[in-house]
């Protein structure tokens, strides 16, 4: 049984935990805690162990100690405990942080590994019982720790690491990169992982390279031959390119409409007939170009999904709107001739 004694210690004689798992402390939160302690006193004493030269090392409560220092307080109330070895107080320190504060996953994993090494614990199951953390969580944390460079680079969460653990190393890296780049939610990430695991190689690569989406990958995977799947992937890619092209043309056409409005004002200055003819020719070319793009799109309607059809329908509505505006403008001008 650990021997415990409640004492009033000098703040300057207390040292921060050298093995503290938490590496970052929120300054604003420390300030708020200091104000609370000044107003209400310290409700929960810190825990320390004896150190060299008449000093004490914190086992639990570093935030409270930092708050005392910030507030300029000379003493702090502490439970002084005697431990049989380093592993015993390290475990207590971890449990304090894990169960009372949100310790960063990488910091938590690093500290768990230290306990595993110091205590020479033979299995994760035994470590789980000792620190009262589930074996699944510990395994996820260790996986995250082993991938720490990727985790830091892509700013990944523990959930993202856990959701992708069933994938092979290469697929997992690509899925995590995709999730980080596109800010994919956890539900969507689970769908991607499922499709990646079940899809043929070509379909999987197309999905991970953003040539097709999850729903398209599921449908294409049902095709029997690789040739059929390759054709479907190319068709979906072409549809996406056509849609982008249509959108660009329509945007240009909308700009042309705005230009015609300015030209109408120029017409009133006496040179409007010449200007109008030039704009009509320009508009005619743009309309013909848009029409050709739309005609190409119609060939792919049988393989479009509902989202693509809806997008194409909106493009057609915008195209018709431009034509109607042109017709109205022509009628107005004709009435003035």
64 or 300: whose pLDDT is higher? 64
Residue 187 maps to a domain = no
> Is the pTM value of this prediction over 0.85?
no
Q: Is the pLDDT of residue 303 over 70?
A: no
Residue 273 maps to a domain = yes
Residue 137 maps to a domain = no
- DSSP element (H, E) containing 139: helix 135-146
Q: Please tell me the distance from the alpha carbon of residue 225 to that of residue 187, in angstroms, as a whole number.
A: 30
DSSP state of 121: -
Q: For 178-200, what is each residue's pLDDT tens digit?
A: 888 877 888 888 888 888 888 88
Q: For 13-69, what is each residue's pLDDT tens digit?
A: 999 887 666 667 778 889 998 999 998 889 889 999 988 888 999 988 888 999 999
3 or 207: whose pLDDT is higher? 207
Total number of domains constituting the chain: 1
Residue 316 maps to a domain = yes
140 CA to centre of own chain = 18
pLDDT of the residue at 106:
82
Q: For 254-299, what is each residue's pLDDT tens digit?
A: 566 666 665 665 555 445 445 555 555 556 666 666 666 666 666 6
* Planar angle of CA 52, 53, 58, nearest 5 degrees: 50
Region of poorest pLDDT, from 112-121, 150-159, 196-205, 320-329: 320-329
Nearest to 63 by CA among 33, 102, 28: 33
Q: Which domain holds residue 330?
A: 235-336
Q: For 131-159, what is each residue's pLDDT tens digit?
A: 888 898 888 888 888 888 888 887 877 78
Q: Please tell me the distance from the alpha carbon of residue 275 to that of residue 302, in angstroms, as a whole number.
A: 43
Residue 282 maps to a domain = yes
pLDDT of the residue at 270:
46
Residue 60 maps to a domain = no
Residue 9 maps to a domain = no
Q: What is the residue-averaged pLDDT of the chain? A: 78
Task: List C-alpha distances in Å: 331 to 80, 84, 91, 269.
Answer: 93, 96, 84, 20
Q: Please tell me the distance from the alpha carbon of residue 60 to that of residue 16, in angstroms, as a whole number.
A: 10
Residue 220 maps to a domain = no
β-pairing, 75-82 vs 3-10, is antiparallel
pLDDT of the residue at 166:
84
Region of poorest pLDDT, from 123-132, 152-161, 234-243, 308-317: 234-243
């Amino acid at each position: 049984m650990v021997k415990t004694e409640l004492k009033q210690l000098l703040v300057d004689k207390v040292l921060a935990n050298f093995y503290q798992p938490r590496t970052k402390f929120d300054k604003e939160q420390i300030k708020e805690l200091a104000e609370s302690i000044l107003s209400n006193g310290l409700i929960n004493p810190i825990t320390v162990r004896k150190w060299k030269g008449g000093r004490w090392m914190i086992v639990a409560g570093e935030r409270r100690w930092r708050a005392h220092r910030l507030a300029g307080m000379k003493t702090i109330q502490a439970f002084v405990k005697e431990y049989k070895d380093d592993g015993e107080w390290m475990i207590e320190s971890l449990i304090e942080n894990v169960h009372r504060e949100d310790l960063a996953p990488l910091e938590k994993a690093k500290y768990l590994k230290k306990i595993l090494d110091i205590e020479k614990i033979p299995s994760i199951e035994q470590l789980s019982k000792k620190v009262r953390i589930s074996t699944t969580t510990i395994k996820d944390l260790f996986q995250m720790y082993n991938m720490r460079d990727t985790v830091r680079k892509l700013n990944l969460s523990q959930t993202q690491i856990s959701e992708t653990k069933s994938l092979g190393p290469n697929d997992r890296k690509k899925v995590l990169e995709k999730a980080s780049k596109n800010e994919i939610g956890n539900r969507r990430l689970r769908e991607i992982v499922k499709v990646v695991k079940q899809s043929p190689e070509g379909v999987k690569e197309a999905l991970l390279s953003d040539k097709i989406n999850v729903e398209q990958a599921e449908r294409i995977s049902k095709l029997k031959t690789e040739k059929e799947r390759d054709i479907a992937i190319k068709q979906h890619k072409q549809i996406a390119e056509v849609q982008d092209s249509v959108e660009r043309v329509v945007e240009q056409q909308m700009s042309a409409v705005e230009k015609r409005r300015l030209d109408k004002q120029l017409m009133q200055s006496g040179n409007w007939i010449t200007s109008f003819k030039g704009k009509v020719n320009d508009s005619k070319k743009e309309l013909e170009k848009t029409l050709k793009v739309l005609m190409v799109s119609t060939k792919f309607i049988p393989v479009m999904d509902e989202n693509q059809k809806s997008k194409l329908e909106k493009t057609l509505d915008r195209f018709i709107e431009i034509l109607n505006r042109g017709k109205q403008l022509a009628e107005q001008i004709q009435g003035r001739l």
